[in-house]
Structure 1
Amino acid sequence: MKTIFSPDQLLHDPANEISDGKLVPANETPSRAEIVLEHLKKARFGEVLTPKEFSLTPILKVHDADYISFLQDFWALWQAEGRTEKEAFPFVWPVHGLRHDIVPDQIDGKLGFYSFDAGSPMGEHTWMAARKSAETALTGADLILSGDNSAFALCRPPGHHAHRRLYGGYCFLNNAAIAAQHLRDQGVGKVTVFDVDYHHGNGTQAIFYDRADVQFLSIHADPKVEFPYYLGHANERGLKEGAGYNHNYPLPHGTTWDMWEEALEEACHNIEKFAPDVIVISLGLDPFENDPISQFKLKTDDFTKIGSRIARLGKPTLFVMEGGYAVGDLGINCTKALSGYLDTVKVAS
């Protein structure tokens, strides 16, 4: 399995985030990608490719043009306001009863307009890193299109929380959604996006919620008690043409493998019924028992089982890296998941 990664993805290097009402050290840091890459190389996992360069066209198929312009122009706007801080946080949002149809001119208004949380700092190199992360996913999609049975897009920053016009949850561009849309645009009939991150993939759900050609499934912590709080309930099944193609499996804090596996089997059954041509896996490794911001209890060997079960679906599969913040264990957990997939494919062939 080929891995795709660009060193430019490390340029977004936040020092802090706002969490639980406090300014705390950032969890989504470059070391996450570095440790995964180190483990894959030690395991001689396969070739590591630099992502191809793409125009903005495939990104604009998923994200609104004004939002992309904001991400591109952010740092210049920040400096033009005389700001000297290296990280920017929003502090006001157009919530219930406020207008959503006029984009403010001032940078603080723009930050709030285009975000949904205060935990995702932006800096000088955020756009470059996010764009390279999206190009990493697009390159992985092209490998699938060219005949590879699987590929791993080592995306960082992650993407599954990003909406068409909103960033948050450490995510700026929705890498998995961009890859799925690219696959469709290049002639793939049906695509499944299966999100196994601890947190609900609210952005991916919202992007495809009224679509019947892209199925979305997510196993995650119950949003009644966990971020992102406002999407991810089981009764969110899709809208219009997309009705019945959205599947959420919210689980309680403390979930262990037995309960998680039940959701996995139900999700795989729904994938088999949909019969996609390609599967995109939003590979979150934060269901791990020692993850610092998560409350599930999966063990390292459970990620092998996840990879193996995905392989038994028998479809070309693009793995797209999402969350996972137990940095010391992240490399081994990722390698276990991908090896579980490959080992099962080898046996089947």
Structure 2
Amino acid sequence: MKAILSPYFDVEGPTKFLRRGRFVEHPDVAQRGNQIRLGLEEVGCEILFASSQLELRESILAVHDRGYVDYLEGAWSNWSKMPDASDEIFPNIFPNRHVAQFNHSPVALAGWYLADCAAPIGEYTWRNALLSVSTVLEAVFRIREGESAIYALCRPSGHHASQDMAMGMCFLNNAAIAAQEFRKQFTKVAILDIDMHHGNGTQQIFYHRSDVLTISIHGNPTNFYPFYTGFEHERGLGEGEAHNLNIPLPAGTGEASYLQALEKATEVISSFKADVLIVATGFDTFKSDPLGCFALESTSYNQIASKIKLLDLPTLFVQEGGYFVPALSENVKQLITGFENT
């Protein structure tokens, strides 16, 4: 399997984020990218780097709101010109969008477009997000040309980013942009999100559509991030009804229960008759992950990938979460091995 990496897969990430009312060290550290790359190399993946020369704006605007994209592009420049501006952009006011008037002040825009304090914007955030998009698009192009499977190592992740808001360390929704690009060739696209947290941004983007099936297996949001979405009754609306499936699982979920949920997900993908599969791949389901609550072992990812391979679809793995750095290389090795040896 080929692996395509963002040129910025190993850059320093944001410095802090808000967790349970306290600012703590941001978990998206540079070592994450290094360990995942190490695992990809050790398992024999051919390592390629995404180009910074791709024209990305059309593909991004096919998924994201133009005003939001314009904000992300100029956010740091406008913010840093303010007196006493912080080193990273955090919103200090969250408007009620039902009644609020749009305001072009940098402080107001931060509250309008950043949904939480886990997605701070720094000097290089836009650059890094763009190259994550470049990474998945190069993977898409290769699969459209006949590759059977590719791993896209993106940083930052994308599945929490909605059409017009950033949250949860995500700014541009890499998996959603890839799905929209796949639709240029394939009739039906399935997105299977195996990250610890509900893929709320992906759900929101495709919630009214029947050509892209979205499935997320995640921690029960009753008392877990992102709290407001990811419940079983969210099934899609209009043409999208029955084309969104959430499988929330309780804290402490181990391999056996997880694989049962995955079996349900793969049956739905088979019934949908997808032409291509995107796997939003998070390793924060690992037992020691500081942002997780499941109990998967490294070998669990071998079993997960084996079940995914049985779908027999062109498959794009898109990197999402995974924050227990010491296990990341082994986790990705198990995933690739399980997929390629099935």
What TM-score bracket applies, with the shorter chain setting the length? over 0.9
Matches within 5 A, 1:263-278: 263-278=261-276
Q: Does 2:244 match 1:246? A: yes
Q: Are the equivalent residues in 2 in contact too, given 1:279–1:317 (CA < 8 A)? A: yes
**Distance between the aligned counterparts of 1:295 and 1:189, measured in 2?**
36
Alpha carbons of 1:12 and 1:71: their partners in 2 closer, same or farther (altered >3 Å)?
Answer: farther
In the alignment, structure 1 segments of 5+ residues that lack a partner are: 345-349
For the Cα contact (< 8 Å) 2:56–2:130, is it kept in 1? no
CA contact (8 A) 1:212 1:242 kept: yes
Name the CA distance, whole Å, in 2 between partners of 1:127 and 1:49: 18
Inter-partner Cα distance in structure 1 for 2:234 and 2:273: 21
Deviates more, 1:144-153 or 1:73-82: 73-82
TM-score (norm 1): 0.95
RMSD between aligned residues = 1.3
TM-score by length of 2: 0.97
Q: Which runs of 5+ in 2 are unaligned?
A: none
**Conservation of the 8 A alpha-carbon contact between 1:161 and 1:201:** yes
Question: Secondary structure, in 3 states, of the residue corresponding to 1:332?
Answer: helix
Instruction: Tell me the CA shift for residue 97 of structure 1.
Output: 5.4
Kept in 2: contact 1:61–1:178 (CA 8 A) = yes
**What is the CA distance between 1:41 and its match in structure 2?**
1.8
Describe the SS at the equivalent of 1:250. Answer: strand
1:316 aligns with 2:317: no
1:12/1:126 contact within 8 Å kept: no
Counterpart residue identity of residue 207, structure 2:
Y
Confirm or deny: 8 A CA contact 1:9 1:130 kept in the other structure.
no
Match of 1:134 in 2: 133
Which residue identity lines up with residue 117 of structure 1 in the other structure?
Answer: D
Provide the residue aligned with 1:30 in structure 2: 30
Partner of residue 347, structure 1: none
Residue identity matched to 1:137? V
Residue in structure 2 matched with residue 44 of structure 1 by the alignment: 44
Number of aligned positions between the proteins: 341
1:108 counterpart = 2:137 = no
Change (3 A) 1:97 1:71: closer
Task: Kindly indicate whether residue 221 of structure 2 is the aligned counterpart of residue 220 of structure 1.
Answer: no
- 1:81 corresponds to which residue? 82
Is residue 2:21 matched to residue 1:21? yes
Q: Is the contact made by 1:116 and 1:166 (CA closer than 8 Å) also made in structure 2?
A: yes
Residues 219, 251 of structure 1: 8 Å contact kept: yes
Measure how far apart 1:47 and its partner are: 3.3
Alignment correspondent of 1:288: 286
Contact 2:220 2:250 in 1 (8 A): yes
Matches within 5 A, 1:157-196: 157-184=156-183, 186-196=184-194
Aligned residue type for 1:103: F
Which residue does 2:258 correspond to in 1? Answer: 260
CA contact (8 A) 1:204 1:216 kept: yes
> What's the secondary structure of 1:7's corresponding residue?
coil
Deviations 1:252-302 (A, max 9, x none): 111111111111110111000001000000001111001011110011100
Measure, in 2, the Cα distance between the counterparts of 1:201 and 1:12: 24
Deviates more, 1:219-228 or 1:102-111: 102-111
Mapped to 2, the partners of 1:223 and 1:87 lie a distance apart of 28
- Provide the C-alpha distance between the structure 2 equivalents of 1:112 and 1:16, rounded to a whole number of angstroms: 17
Alignment-mate amino acid for residue 64 of structure 2: H
Q: Which amino acid aligns with 2:2?
A: K
Equivalent residues of 1:10, 1:129 under 8 A apart: no
The residue that corresponds to 1:120 in the other structure is 119
2:202 alignment partner AA? T
